[in-house]
Structure 1
């Protein structure tokens, strides 16, 4: 992270979510594409990506950092690509191996997701790197998610050596964000 991050002027997670969503909505297609290209290069050049065989990566939606191109590159690089599949609020989510981008189809909210095939579930402890979404991140590596707690629960099952890497635009980085005891921190944030 090169930029210092935004000063903290907000108090609640709800306020951070509202502010960042507003900033995302203001992104033009061209500006978003420019930022996504920089983040793509930063991910592909990262030691976390280069040193991984099995990656877990979210499937971007709407104004999130574009991960579709990263996934396609990972397939080309011969990596095993796993993506999240939410089972239920109670059971959380699992990592599902996909063999090509076209294996993903729109789910209930229009977000691309894999088909639930039990044989394609990857043991979370086998993952080499996790690329996480977030509404906002703190310079102290705190992560503010979307409120469902799915990633926080999933991260309990990865091995201790697996880096957790947040992907975010620079306007999503703050000095510090509100964290609860069950919220998980990331090890690194890759941004533009």
Structure 2
């Protein structure tokens, strides 16, 4: 299968999830993610504001704030790169490029890539080798390829997004853990 074939198939799988199935799975992922030692022990955690089809992270953000963890969110730049910004409350996220909620660069301070301890990464598909397939623009792969990047990479997915083998290229960043509603996979 090509990357486009996988994207097409997984979008169909995601559409088939009922609202109740999705809510139950997201609640279990939000609970289970704290079983990953690198996430639970992070002082600075990078999250994403979910797009349709992605695992929601607002409950994770609220728990991280309760634990005193500094949260950083990505902001899409015109050159298909991400900048990171500290977000102290979810209501500081506003629709930005592509309609994705993101921090406002004027009100949310920039944060250094090297100072992120762990990152929760979205995607469309995953496999047990840690390969992740995103939407195709390469934003996260460029961020994770930054020579300053030191953080632990954890993908958040629904179990129905698993494929036996996700097509990948040498520049595609692998995940060091995958959390689903059913399990934690450590490739």
TM-score (structure 1 length as normaliser):
0.88
CA distance in 2, matches of 1:104, 1:69: 15
Q: 1:158 to 1:84 in 2, by over 3 A?
A: farther
**Aligned pairs (5 A) from 1:89-104:** 90=79, 92-104=81-93
SS in 2 for 1:174: coil
Q: Which structure 1 residue ranges, 4+ long, deviate > 4 Å from structure 2?
A: 158-161
Q: Structure 1: which 5+ residue stretches go unaligned?
A: 1-10
Q: Which moved more, 1:137-146 or 1:115-124?
A: 115-124
SS in 2 for 1:113: strand
SS in 2 for 1:183: coil
Asked if residue 77 in structure 1 is aligned to residue 59 in structure 2, the reply is no
SS in 2 for 1:78: coil
Asked if residue 87 in structure 1 is aligned to residue 77 in structure 2, the reply is yes
1:87 to partner: Cα distance: 1.1
Q: Which residue is equivalent to 1:65?
A: 55
TM-score (structure 2 length as normaliser):
0.91
Q: Which residue is equivalent to 1:22?
A: 12
Match of 2:133 among 140, 144, 148: 144
SS in 1 for 2:55: coil
Q: Which residue is equivalent to 1:110?
A: 99
SS in 1 for 2:42: coil
Q: Which moved more, 1:146-155 or 1:113-122?
A: 113-122
Match of 1:162 among 129, 136, 151: 151
